[in-house]
Structure 1
Amino acid sequence: MPLTAKANMASELANPRPESLGRIGPLEVRLARNAKEVKKAQRLRYQVFYEEMSAVADAVTQATRRDADPFDAFCDHLLVIDHSSMKRNKLGRLKPEIVGTYRLLRQDVANSQGGFYTASEFDIQTLLDANPDKNFLELGRSCVLKPYRNKKTVELLWHGIWAYVLQHGIDVMIGCASIEGTNPDTIADQLSFLHHNARAPKDWRVRALSERYVEMNRQSTDEFKPKESLRALPPLVKGYLRLGAYIGDGAVVDHQFGTTDVLIIMPVSELNSRYVNYYGADASRYAS
């Protein structure tokens, strides 16, 4: 077994994970407990990203029917589980279905493993260097099965993230959020809306890597209708904005996933107080 895997296993044994981060009826949010659950999350990601959306699978991804990359091995995987929907595993045992997932990467783990996934698209190192006293968390690979894309599931995911933020003393959340499509001109109104209405202040501004930079300021405020542009944004991006997120400078086209990515920056101190109060300062709203 690799040294990193041994260290992770030793850490888990020394610091057992809480059984649950929240519950609403039969739906529960918690971290994946083992490699089998991570694989189920990867299969869910494949179903959403490759079968439902327009991601392009390589031979390995197509053969395994799992969306996987090297970061999965050392990230935490947040899961929403439906205890009322039981599925048989390969051994014929009934297990509750995983219906939503988020991938979480803490800065201390990223530092020991070569950095954040986001750094492949945005120059986040400048932000990390400017805030050496702050603890960062990367959010990514978010997806939910279509029948569960409702307020209840999304609230439970965010309750789990908020509980995780509090447990680990997180100061800033970052991550890539995707808008479907690889032609920036067809989503010019959405990109321009974000540029004019949600761009990060200078202290928090991060630029897309020069070789991947796509201009977001594609239309003036007179050329697009703000309400229609906001309505067209993906629910996840709108959710981030409601929480008080900032958007980085420039977008990045991700041809593998068939998307155009923007950078989300969420300092915990700047989060919308209404949402913090809603979930509870101690993440107690849906505590089980």
Structure 2
Amino acid sequence: MSLMNSKDFEATPEVRLAPRFTAGFATTPQQILETQKLRYQIFAGELGAQIDGGADGVDCDEYDAYCQHLTVREVSTGELVACTRILTDEAAARAGGFYSAGEFELSMIDSLPGRVMEVGRTCVRAEHRSGAVIATLWQGLAAFFTQHGYDYLFGCASIGLEDGGAQAHSILRQVQAKYMAPAYQRVRPYHPLPLPDSEPPQKVKMPPLLKAYLSLGAKACGDAYWDQDFNCADVFVLVNVSEICPRYARHFLGIQSTTNVIGHA
């Protein structure tokens, strides 16, 4: 047996591992139903959300028919591990508005220059809440909004209230200190999160989705909405595509030409 010398090592081509996860779109009724069942499992089964019409184990509302349903699957098994839905400005006009309009006064969105899209109902299986899955989800979103020419995306990032809201208020303090949008890009929640009964803890872990948004350069657009049905605080966040953090832009937008997740705008 011989040892590899330094020259041999330098000449060895780089080994590229196949990706563990892949992004795509649910395009059949069966695939869309699969995303709705995953949403129910996580929102109702794990988080205890009260979902209207969810007795059959499906989270479905009137917006689903107008949305693009982005999925993340594990390559080796084909298992659906994460999903989110995209509601474009054109589809929202047909749907009667954006989903977020039920929680926030959204006149600010109408003043934004360019095309906008809403991201919502995002969920990831508990055992897959890793950076790799969130990154794959964002690769799919980045490919979609660059290929179709969207200038802004927005949506709600949720913070659980299982402890009564103390941790949520601590997280919101961090957001308000560093990540707030200018006054002209604020929205107003119809049902603001009430003050906590106790002093919020000083150090808390930020939810993965909210952390991903803020890392991209998203701005929080005002006070959080108290979603009692889902027992969470919803933070409305806005991403200006042209202002995405350069490091993340290279990571996500730089690969869009090789990411096969094109959907219909």
TM-score by length of 2: 0.83
Q: 1:187-266 residue pairs with structure 2 within 5 A? A: 187-209=168-190, 212-214=191-193, 225=202, 228-229=203-204, 232-266=205-239
Contact 2:70 2:86 in 1 (8 A): yes
Please name the residue that 1:130 is paired with.
111
Contact 2:167 2:201 in 1 (8 A): no
The size of the alignment, in residue pairs, is 244
In the TM superposition, residue 25 of structure 1 has moved relative to its aligned partner by 2.8
Please name the residue that 2:42 is paired with.
48
SS at match of 1:65: coil
Contact 2:117 2:150 in 1 (8 A): yes
The reply to whether residue 119 of structure 1 matches residue 112 of structure 2 is: no
The structure 2 residue matched to 1:148, chosen from 85, 108, 128, is 128
Extract unaligned runs of 5+ from structure 2. 1-16
Please name the residue that 1:8 is paired with.
none
Greater Cα shift, 197-206 or 43-52: 197-206
Higher share of residues assigned helix = 1
Greater Cα shift, 255-264 or 24-33: 24-33
- C-alpha distance after superposition, 1:246-288 (max 9, x if no partner): 0121111111111111101111112101101112446146569
Shift of the 218–240 alpha-carbon distance from structure 1 to 2, 3 Å rule, reads farther
| Whole-angstrom CA distance in 2 between matches of 1:72 and 1:185 | 33
Please name the residue that 2:12 is paired with.
none
TM-score by length of 1: 0.77
Contact 2:166 2:196 in 1 (8 A): no
SS at match of 1:102: strand
The reply to whether residue 177 of structure 1 matches residue 157 of structure 2 is: yes
SS at match of 2:256: coil
SS at match of 1:164: helix
Contact 1:29 1:81 in 2 (8 A): yes
Contact 1:214 1:252 in 2 (8 A): yes
SS at match of 1:283: helix
RMSD value, Cα: 2.6
SS at match of 1:99: strand
Extract unaligned runs of 5+ from structure 1. 1-22, 86-95
